[in-house]
Amino acid sequence: MNNKEIVKLFYEYVVSENRLDEADRYLSANYMEEMCQHLISVRNTYPDYMMSITRQFGDGEYVVSEFVMRGTHSGEFLGITPTNKVIEIKGVNID
């Protein structure tokens, strides 16, 4: 697998399907705990969230991914009361 395929698999499989037990195959030990805590926090806020990669660019060891994250705001986050509305966020990650 090339770097773009690895990054896509991480977001669309490990993150979207909440398979944190497999995260160590994709993350360095330096970022493992912090990233898993972040993913747990997001999952607690948006229990059904999914990430889809819409476009990617690779340059050497770097991968830039455009993504769409969609989920239902069902849990409190930073003091914000759940709205039970579906949100959609578009963004860019650099890995």
Residue 5: pLDDT band (50, 70, 90) is very high
- Provide the 3-class DSSP secondary structure of residue 23: helix
Predicted TM-score (pTM) above 0.75:
yes
User: Tens digits of per-residue pLDDT, 16-59?
Assistant: 999 999 999 999 889 889 999 999 999 999 999 999 999 999 99
Q: What is the pLDDT of residues 58-67, one digit of tens each?
A: 999 999 999 9
- Local structure of residue 79 (DSSP, 8 states): T
- Give one word for 31, left, alpha or beta, with left for phi > 0 and alpha for psi -120 to 50: alpha
**Residue 55 phi, psi dihedral angles, 5° rounding:** -160, 145
Task: Average the pLDDT over 62-73 and give the result.
Answer: 97
